[in-house]
Amino acid sequence: MAEVRRLRSGEPREVAGYRLIGVLGDGGQGSVYLGEDTERGQVAVKVLHARLVSDRRAVRRFLAEAQTAEKVAGHGTARVIEAGVLDDRPYLISEFVDGPSLQQYVVQNGPMNGAALMTLATATARSLAAIHEAQIVHRDFKPNNVLMGPDGPRVIDFGVARTPESATTATSSVVGTPGYMAPEQISGESVTPASDMFAWASTMAYAATGTSLFGGDSIPAVMHRILNASPDLSGIEEPLRSVLTSCLAKVPAHRPGAAEVLRALTRRTEETRPVVRRVRRRRRRMALAGLALVVMFGGAIGLTMRGGGVTAAGDEGASSEADGPRVTAFGDFDNKISKIALGSLSNVSMVAAANETTQRIDLWNPDGGQIINSVPMGAKDIGSLAFAKIGSKQAIVWSAADGAIRVWQPGQGNAVQTIRACKGKGRAAMSVVPAQKGASAYVSCADGRMQAWDLASGKQASLWRLGQSVHDVAWAGAGTNVFAVMSKGLLQRIDPWDSGTVKARAVVESGAPASGVEAADGLVAVRVEGVGVKIYDQSGERQRCTVKIPSKAASPTTPTDDFALSKGALVTGVDGLTVWNPRTCERVRDLPSTSGPFTALAIGQFNGRKSVVVAKPDEEMAIWDLAGW
């Protein structure tokens, strides 16, 4: 939890409708407050110091910070919500990251090592790569400007950031923090992205050792060491030590860029993995353009494949979209994943996976190839898994065979809320529906009940009796309709906001069961065993077309995980992955992969691009980039 100081006399109590409940920190430019709103949740509110209101340069710099932060939002940085002026004092409202700074974290917990340190290094290098790609130089990267959020590190404070051009010309004063400044900053020379990489390396060395790389005594002594001394990195393990050594070169031109560092970290992580298990166990591997994806074994992995080649996750090499679909592979070989979902936490793309082997819900950062957090499932046989937003907090919600739905908010710790929706009367099928004040879960039970549950309060909001058990439920993606496929092969449309209106339509041919439903972009897709996937319009009353695919041997009471629907794409995963045009049912293309059914499949956004994530027995998970299809 972030430390919060009580408000003092004379400090603001409200900004832009947010009640200020404490102070997160004070700096030379302004104070950062913790703001709160009952509907919008908690935010960080930075307000310029009153004494600087008449300083035009300070005001311009403050306003420039908002513009800079907006340019890089969503890349491991805090999202900007609003900027304005209150009583002549400019303010900046951004996403609240509930976690200590890296400085505080190391003081409280000691130096970092192993996977935690590599995750920190990879995530922050990725953030700097995005910052530099936006033509921004941070100029004050240090442990206090990295927040250890519940879903990963976040780079903050762009108060002194500049474009490379303006940073080059602004040499009349030295900007930065002693101990984390590059030699050229101390000398008053041009400040470039290479300066950030020197500061990044100094910060990672602090995280690994718990001490400042260039000492903590007098400022002149620290600056002298930065300019002249070779730092001691002997206590830092490879592959990070070699990367830091390169970034700490005295000459800016000799330092690698952030994207190059990212490639080196992910590549060397793969190269250092033990290969003993590769000899003992034969694995099927996903292939791309005739080449196998060969992965070193051990822990979690993160790789990206383009066209016929394989590169480390995060590799920004010069591949074009024409080279072929991009694939990010991650995860362990030995786990069975039964449900999977794409989403984001604090604007960082994540994957939630129901791990039947460990009986846990794992939260993955695929780019880093790491499990960020994990909690027990609470029950076997997960029926549905989804990301949801409850107020301002992100959550993961799942249903199970015990008839309960469970809610986990990773930003609030590892507590899991259990809602006994079906009260032990069989499996719960679930769809999460966003709402203005927070998400609701629409849950169907084996006895034919359909319920709406407020996820914020955990209370039941509505109840309908459908007359027969429901196999699967899907929200239309817009509007108020919820669709359910029934045990007797009916597709029912429910409008929970219109007195629970229920309309039914038969979708079965020759008595085959309907085992799954997906809805998006004004379309409804129903999986009919022995037929394929039937596509209907959003009313559920007019069939557009049918995609014929082989049947999957699944329990008739288990929602089918061999198809997924999103705007402009239907993906099936029975005999490999195939993308279809959902409005015409025409095949768009086959995604190269090994044959055989998938244990889990879902469509969503990954790093701002439409993607499909899949899991298979005895293989890693993989995310296929569908952007442009």
> If DSSP states are collapsed to H, E and C, what string results for 543-572?
EEEEECCCCCCCCCCCCCCCEEEECCEEEE
pLDDT tens-place string over residues 153-184: 888 876 444 544 444 434 434 456 889 999 99
**Which pLDDT score, from 0 to 100, does residue 20 have?**
95
The winner for highest mean pLDDT among 19-28, 284-293, 315-324, 547-556 is 19-28
Euclidean distance between CA atoms 558 and 543, whole angstroms: 24
Those residues with Cβ within 8 angstroms of residue 306's Cβ, 6 or more apart along the chain or in another chain: 317, 319, 323, 324, 325, 326, 327
Tell which wins on pLDDT, 103 or 172: 103
pLDDT tens-place string over residues 602-625: 998 887 788 889 887 767 788 888
**Which pLDDT score, from 0 to 100, does residue 36 have?**
92
Tell which residue, 105, 112, 120, has the closest CA to residue 207.
112
- Cβ neighbour number for residue 284 with a 10 Å cutoff: 14
Is the pLDDT confidence value at 120 over 90? yes
Tell which wins on pLDDT, 299 or 193: 193
Domain ranges of the chain: 1-96, 101-264, 327-333+386-625
Euclidean distance between CA atoms 546 and 582, whole angstroms: 9
Same fold, 1-96 and 327-333+386-625: no
Is the pLDDT confidence value at 357 over 50? yes
Please, what sign has the CA dihedral across residues 523, 526, 527, 532? negative
Is the pLDDT confidence value at 475 over 60? yes
Say which CATH topology domain 327-333+386-625 has: Methylamine Dehydrogenase; Chain H (2.130.10)
**Which pLDDT score, from 0 to 100, does residue 425 have?**
61
Is the pLDDT confidence value at 66 over 90? no
Share of the chain above pLDDT 70, in %: 76
Tell which wins on pLDDT, 516 or 204: 204
The superfamily (CATH) of domain 101-264 is Transferase(Phosphotransferase) domain 1 (1.10.510.10)
**Which pLDDT score, from 0 to 100, does residue 236 have?**
94
Which of the residue ranges 9-13, 81-85, 329-333, 444-448 would you say has the lowest mean pLDDT?
Answer: 329-333
pLDDT tens-place string over residues 35-55: 998 777 889 999 999 888 888
- Give me the residue label for tokens 């004063």: 173
Is the pLDDT confidence value at 3 over 60? yes
Tell which wins on pLDDT, 466 or 123: 123
Those residues with Cβ within 8 angstroms of residue 530's Cβ, 6 or more apart along the chain or in another chain: 509, 510, 512, 551
Instruction: Return the structure tokens found at 399.
Output: 């249903």
Share of the chain above pLDDT 90, in %: 24
Euclidean distance between CA atoms 569 and 615, whole angstroms: 19
Euclidean distance between CA atoms 512 and 85, whole angstroms: 63
**Which pLDDT score, from 0 to 100, does residue 397 have?**
92
CATH architecture classification, 1-96: 2-Layer Sandwich (3.30)
**Which pLDDT score, from 0 to 100, does residue 498 have?**
60
**Which pLDDT score, from 0 to 100, does residue 107 have?**
92
Is the pLDDT confidence value at 306 over 50? no
The winner for highest mean pLDDT among 18-27, 429-438, 460-469, 487-496 is 18-27
Instruction: With cut-offs at 50, 70 and 90, classify the pLDDT of residue 303.
Output: very low
**Which pLDDT score, from 0 to 100, does residue 591 have?**
78
Instruction: Return the structure tokens found at 210.
Output: 């718990």
Tell which wins on pLDDT, 103 or 63: 103
**Which pLDDT score, from 0 to 100, does residue 347 have?**
65
**Which pLDDT score, from 0 to 100, does residue 308 have?**
30
Tell which wins on pLDDT, 436 or 58: 58
In the DSSP assignment, the letter for residue 230 is P
Tell which wins on pLDDT, 351 or 329: 351
Mean pLDDT, the chain, integer:
77
Is the pLDDT confidence value at 305 over 80? no
134-156 mean pLDDT:
87
Is the pLDDT confidence value at 320 over 50? no
Is the pLDDT confidence value at 481 over 60? yes
Q: Are 385 and 377 in contact (CB under 8 A)?
A: no
**Which pLDDT score, from 0 to 100, does residue 329 have?**
76
Is the pLDDT confidence value at 538 over 80? no
Is the pLDDT confidence value at 556 over 50? no
Instruction: With cut-offs at 50, 70 and 90, classify the pLDDT of residue 464.
Output: confident
Instruction: Return the structure tokens found at 550.
Output: 């082989």
pLDDT tens-place string over residues 262-300: 988 876 444 443 322 222 222 333 322 222 222 222 233
pTM of the model: 0.53
Residues 625-629: contacts with CB within 8 Å, 24+ apart? 625/325, 625/326, 625/327, 625/328, 626/325, 626/569, 626/571, 626/579, 627/321, 628/321, 629/568, 629/569, 629/579, 629/588, 629/589
Is the pLDDT confidence value at 490 over 90? no
**Which pLDDT score, from 0 to 100, does residue 227 have?**
93
**Which pLDDT score, from 0 to 100, does residue 346 have?**
65
**Which pLDDT score, from 0 to 100, does residue 424 have?**
64
Tell which residue, 372, 375, 324, 395, has the closest CA to residue 116.
372
